Amino acid sequence: MLNTPTMKKSIILSGACICLGLQAFGQRGTIAVPRLPSDKLHKSLHLEFDRLRPFNPSYNKAPEFRWLNYGLQLDTYYSPGMAAFNFMHNFPDSTIVLGLTSSGEVVYPWIHKTATILDPKNMPDPWITPTTSYTLDSIGFAYAYLRSLPPSVIDSVIVEIIKHDDALVYTGIGGQYIWQDIEYDYTTNSIKPYQVIKRIAIPLTENDTTSIAAEILLPVTGVPVQQGNRRIGAVISFKPGFTWTITDSLFQKNVFFQVSMEQNGDNTDPSFYGTPNDPNSDLNCSFILPPSVRYNFNTNGWNGYLIPTWAFVTAFPFEHHLIYFGLTADLASVKTEDPAVELFNALPVPADQTLTLNIQMARASSASVRISDLTGRTLSSSNIGLLTPGFQSLQIPVASLATGHYLLWLQTESGITARKIIVKH
């Protein structure tokens, strides 16, 4: 496939490459979701994947802070417990080979970088609206790390924070697939510098060694405030503190794994529209860098780009990487301050036929409710009448709305309060 303005790249990779991937990454199997601690320090937490599920409010105590991962939210809200979690090699740039094929061809290490781009306004959990500004406060990922070399050898994980860029948004075949590209330079084994906001090097020592799934969580500083209509991303690379030779075998030195999820369970294809009827949800996309790009085997097609991990002819265990984004949101930008309203939430998430509004009023006020799409276009409205001081619960019908994301607006005499809602039938 040629890289031209009208034909950019194919969504299908060759079957031969798929077989190689399954042989190279044989560690499969379903394991439960990792716990997401609420602290933000750099630490290795040796946790078996049998803990509580994520997005429990105790993990995100402050209303303005959340750990976000799109794949985990899909598994929480749309297909609870369906995802399969798997280890996946993230190889360094090296001359190491895995062996030879039956025809004598060299089998190179397969995945050299992983990445996720997050669009926080298009998440299954309605937290912020398109007008909510936010800051990348923390970054984290799930991993395993095996060492065979002495303690003097210190490896590193490199995390590069990727910026929003509408010029890199690609609409694929028939307009079905939408994602933001990540451009790559195979001559330097690096992401194109203009995309990188910040580069973080995390040392890996014997203290980080773990053969079970663990997490690294660390604070991020120096990333500018992002406007609500912008995405944020992260690319993860393994940088060894040693040199490979052509005679090395895979486990004679140190190896690094990441944990990723297969969205709908083992040996299944992902749902391209993770958020129903919302093609923009593909912007919450995970990526890999395979040898066809790293070693420039393919001079057309995907050469020069990281590849969306679901862009294959069959299922793989890395549709969504467990890369976490800790965001601090400017909740003042979610709503106009309304001194009459002390509490306003909308449940359940998602809603089917009826939405329950829980409201705590500081003083009496007449009120009305309006539901709009994410552009602000009004879809329905109703006059509530007088709301008295104290708590009250209101029932709002949503059966007539199509499955998707909406904004619910509460208008009182002193201001407007907005919440993002999800409807799913």
Number of other residues whose CB lies within 10 A of the CB of residue 5: 5
Domain residue limits at 349: 336-423
- Clarify whether residues 326 and 358 are in a common domain: no
Does residue 1 form part of some domain?
no
- If asked whether residues 206 and 261 sit together in one domain, one would say yes
Provide block-wise average pLDDT over 10 residues at a time, the chain (425 residues): 33 33 26 30 32 35 73 80 84 74 77 93 76 86 88 95 94 75 92 96 88 80 88 96 75 84 83 67 89 80 87 75 87 61 79 88 88 76 88 90 84 79 84
Q: Are 118 and 80 within one domain?
A: yes
Of 182, 40, 198, nearest to 115 by C-alpha is 182
Stated pTM of the model: 0.70
Domain match, 355 and 291 both: no
Where is the domain boundary, 315, 331, 347?
331
Same-domain pairing of 283 and 408: no
